[in-house]
Chains A and B, each alone.
Chain A
Amino acid sequence: MSNLKAHSIARKSLIRTFLFTVVMLILGSRFDAYNQAQLALVLILFIGVLSVTILTGISGQLSLGQGALMAVGGYSTALMMINYKLSLWIAIPLSIISAGIAGLLLGVAAARLSGPYLAGTTLVIALAIPTLANRFMSVFKGDEGLPVDVGYPPAWFSNTFGEPSYEKWQIYVALPFAAIALFFASNILLSRSGRMWRAIRDNELAASLNGVNYSRQKIYVFIVSATFAGLSGALYGLRGLVGPSVYPVSLSLTLLTAAVLGGIRSISGAFIGTVIVVYLPDWIEKALGNFSLSEQVSNFLPALISSLLLILVVVINPAGVAGTRLHKHK
């Protein structure tokens, strides 16, 4: 019986992932170079936003340190690619493991904390981790960072599918990982772990009375969320540079904003939120193109509007854009 259920969950997730991949491939082939790069960014950040959805939306643990976990993924990948000349297809999976270990450490500390304590502690971590880059200058190269990129496709790929542009290759690199992340996220949400994590979120005491070892499950959810964040950070660094300036605290806040705007409890919400966050500057520019705004205004306007949207969504409908339906059913 339970096997049958697991089977149908996997099939559901597989169909979802397949549709997602096809749509993204079609969009990628239709878009111009600029929008291809934007689409690649959406795919990359989507994985990071999923890490927030799992951690905060599903299990109720608010972490502001996802950017630091992204940095762990990014630095691991960059160091392996530069020092050991590994291909990104090997370096990225390995760096997911190192991010998972970082998530384990974070989870062990976080399992004892809740609410604002957890948020504040992870915020301090998000600030402290990037300073390691200057502390261990010889390895991490300080503020200068480590230059890495997705490089060029292997010969067999170009021979079979034709030479892709750099932007298109970015999509081809990010898409398999985003699809795998989507598959796992949607599996987890429907599975036994997902139910346990939701139980912890709703009531720790009731969950533990029903046999959920909540401190252990909290550590698990931190590890899983960290692997997502690490993967996202690895791909994010491959856009050109891995350095402290690439993974600022505001990156953690961007992920949180995206997750909340779209709907913090659902995967489709995570995707909608990511699209909003990535495209908001473009939309604003298009909408206000006729007014000649000074650079000072146009630089900060996207941040202002996304922050105001965040406050509005939280105050008016904390379930987010994709959460409206869920919200009414209750």
Chain B
Amino acid sequence: MNTFLAALFSGTSRGAIFALVALGLVIVWRGAGIVNFAQMGQAMFSTYIASTLITNGNSYWVGFFVALFAGAAMGALLDILVMRPLSNKKKTELLSSDSMRAAVPVIASLGILGALQALAGILWAAEERGFPAPAKQEGFTFGSNVMPFTAFDLFVISLVALTLVITTLFFKKTGIGLAMRATALNQEVAKLSGIRTNRTRTLSWAISGAASSLAGLLITPTSNLSPNTLDLVLIVGFTAAVVGGLDSPAGAVLGGFILGMVISFVTFYDTPEDVFLSILAVLLLVLLIRPRGILGSKDVRRV
């Protein structure tokens, strides 16, 4: 029973972070039709910025907000410098086919990932370092029992919940959010109704960058920080997004929690070594049974 509770709590807390990562992927996919494999590279980079600020004597919260801002700025910059020029090059021979139009942005995002990781290695060394948590990482005590739930877990879950509420309100209630949804639905029509689709695309990159930086800040206190630590988080986030439906924000959140539970229960009841195989199994299962994901819309193939 105790193991079950521990797995459940740990799954909730991890799931919240994976939901955030998946949400970041979904926002860029909807806004730009690209799966951004560099996303957690960006998060790693901004977490290093926060880490540097904090070790130089600034408070946790200075590092925290600077990292969020850096994540957003980096996302916008990558869109303007790399992805936008790429999407304007549709007339070249290599990009003339559907399949390569889908493949080339992925290759570009992998290049960005490699560049960010190498740059982080040059700037901050390759050794792992810790990253502070703003709340206690010891379990709550209940009488003489130590509960498998920490103040930091509570912090993570409430912060992720807050982020989800804010993004939902942003997309549903604001004019810019409406413009972004229109662009996701049909870029041509959105353009014709006067929406500056280039700007909404850049904005989705920025929002996704901030969300994934938050994920980076929340996961590194338990996993340590190195140029490569967040690669695995990206894999999990991608799987979560596919499980929930790559074009559905609600699906991303659902997928995140499903993956959090799967990983947590495999870790507690089996061995951590089987985590990747179980992720692969979940991914293949969903792709074979329901390729559009649990909450995804019918039109999976976005050309």
A-B complex is real? yes
Interface residues of A (CB under 8 A from B): 56, 59-62, 64, 109, 112-117, 119-121, 123-125, 127-128, 131-132, 134-135, 200-204, 249, 253, 256-257, 260, 264-265, 296-297, 299-301, 303-304, 306-308, 310-311, 314-315, 317-319, 323, 326-327, 330
Stretch at the interface among B68-76, B110-118, B170-178, B193-201: B110-118
Q: A303-B114, A304-B119 are in contact. Are A128 and B279 (CB under 8 A)?
A: yes
Q: A128-B277, A128-B280, A310-B110 are in contact. Are A330 and B119 (CB under 8 A)?
A: no
Closest CB-CB distance, A67 to chain B, in whole Å? 13
Residues of B within 8 A of A317 (CB): 92
Residues of A within 8 A of B86 (CB): 314-315
Q: Which of B92, B99, B284 contacts A318 (CB 8 A)?
A: B92
B238 CB–A CB distance under 8 Å: yes
Contact: A311 with B288, CB < 8 Å? no
Chain B 91-117 near chain A by CB (<8 Å), digits 1 or 0:
011111111101110111011111101
Q: A125-B280, A314-B111 are in contact. Are A203 and B118 (CB under 8 A)?
A: no
Q: Which of A56, A120, A249, A304 contacts B35 (CB 8 A)?
A: A120
Q: A128-B276, A201-B100, A330-B93 are in contact. Are A119 and B115 (CB under 8 A)?
A: no
Contact: B122 with A260, CB < 8 Å? no
Closest CB-CB distance, A124 to chain B, in whole Å? 5
Contact: B126 with A124, CB < 8 Å? no
B295 CB–A CB distance under 8 Å: no
Residues of A within 8 A of B274 (CB): 131, 135
Interface residues of B (CB under 8 A from A): 29, 34-35, 37, 82, 85-86, 89, 92-100, 102-104, 106-108, 110-115, 117-119, 121-122, 125-126, 231-232, 235, 238-239, 242, 246, 273-274, 276-277, 279-280, 283-284, 287-288, 291, 300-301
Q: Which of B35, B98, B118 contacts A119 (CB 8 A)?
A: B35
Q: Which of B34, B82, B94, B126 contacts A319 (CB 8 A)?
A: B94
Closest CB-CB distance, B217 to chain A, in whole Å? 23
Contact: B235 with A112, CB < 8 Å? no
Q: Which residue of B lies closest to A326 (CB)?
A: B93
Contact: A310 with B277, CB < 8 Å? no
